[in-house]
Structure 1
């Protein structure tokens, strides 16, 4: 009963944030599920801005998984060479292409997505949220890991898997799909690491951040 009351408490408190960012597209500038999956893999330990910059040329050359099945690693590398850990990521993407063969075979469940090389829970949650698949977890990117404890939802942790687990315990499942991305957008736009824009925050009355300026 205590946990139920806690999750209901946060569900109510977080509604203004969910309403603000409901359905807002991820900052990765993808056009379809194939592009989304590839860009999510490439974006690990890199910036969305950098991936958006290299994506047009990459997808002009290789517009589908099927096109990737026709090439080798040496052919792909020049298109992703400006991405962090590009050699491994390129290998993972080519392995996924050989496994799935066609775009229509891209899975939308946690078990199937995380079985693919280069896709962990965070990446799978992003793909599932952006494709409107039923949520099986909560996006816990670097912004969420930083902001969720600041708000007071979970204790501080640098571990994304632990942060996601804590969020799943603290929040009702019916908001899992949107809340991770909503907190991420809050961290990108308002709740900055330094000098957060607290007066602009939809959670300003409930946030636990001790240095609020309001």
Structure 2
């Protein structure tokens, strides 16, 4: 079947295929509630999710509420978040964000885009992500470096288009009720498959739809989507994204082993400023 020629139909087919890999929107940043999601998203700027996930337990064990973090000494917060990179600025941002939540919102994370972006450290993309994942509110499409790259390779936008322009284009082409899901499908697809360097085109679920594809597809798109879903199933928690468990070693087809939990990965050494990598966020 030839790829759809109009952008809206193309994105609809892309979303349908990636939905097989990721039935429900999921964020790879660990969190227990909207408060934690907001803070870890701020910390994740120019950092890897795996690093932030390792910082998170100590951070919220020590300062579990906005009031606690708002009253925390700057120097102590810096020590805890140091591995996130740009730690002085980030420590200041999350402390001031917590103070804003306490002073303006009685200690509760606000549920509107306008109120969220008014908090220190919370960008437009951060607000879109928090509202979508925490409350299912579609305030926009989250456009990070991965979404921008995939959109350009699909021919939806030109390479180098600014994030706000990418978002404006995508929101015109995608129905609002699909904004949350397609945001995270494109993020994870770009992070794990359609990488900046050496994209895995042969295993890509949307290979036939992509004018930038560098290799012929392997197997049917449905099989490729199922395999892609295994990459998306972070920390082995496939139930969280609505997928059946991966068969134990030797009980299924293919390699016979599921993905290793993300928490088992060893972080690389990082300096006081985060070293940008392909998997870094740009919130």
SS in 1 for 2:120: coil
Corresponding residue of 1:52: 53
- Structural mapping, 1:195-210, within 5 Å: 195-210=198-213
1:6 deviates by 4.5
Pick from 151, 157, 161: which aligns with 2:160? 157
Q: Residue 21 of structure 1 aligns with which residue? A: 22
Aligned counterparts, 1:78-157, within 5 A: 78-101=79-102, 105-157=108-160
CA contact (8 A) 2:193 2:199 kept: yes
- When the two structures are superposed, what TM-score results if normalisation uses the length of structure 2? 0.68
- Following superposition, which runs of at least 4 residues in structure 1 exceed 3 angstroms of deviation? none
**CA offset at residue 26 of structure 1?**
0.9
TM (norm. structure 1) is 0.88
Any idea what the Cα deviations from partners look like across 1:55-109, whole Å, max 9, x if unmatched?
Answer: 1111111111121133221231111122222212211211121221278620122
Structure having the higher helix fraction is 1
Contact 1:33/1:103 (8 A) holds in 2: no
Classify 1:89/1:107 alpha carbon distance in 2 versus 1 (closer, same or farther; 3 Å): same
Unmatched runs of 5 consecutive residues or more in structure 2: 1-5, 218-283
Question: CA, structure 1 residues 24+10, in 2 after alignment: closer, same or farther (shift >3 Å)?
Answer: closer
Tell me if structure 2 keeps the 8 A contact 1:157–1:163. Answer: no
Q: Using the alignment, how far apart are the partners of 1:103 and 1:181 within structure 2?
A: 30
The C-alpha deviation readout for 1:101-124, integer Å capped at 9, x for no partner, is: 278620122111111111111111
Structure 1 unpaired stretches of 5+: none
Give, in angstroms, the shift of residue 210 of structure 1: 4.3
Which residue does the alignment assign to 1:30?
A: 31
How many pairs does the alignment contain? 210
Cα deviation per residue 1:132-170 (whole Å; 9 max; x = unaligned)?
332111011111111111122222225222222222223
Determine which structure has greater relative contact order: mean sequence separation of CA pairs < 8 Å that are 6+ residues apart, divided by chain length.
Answer: 2
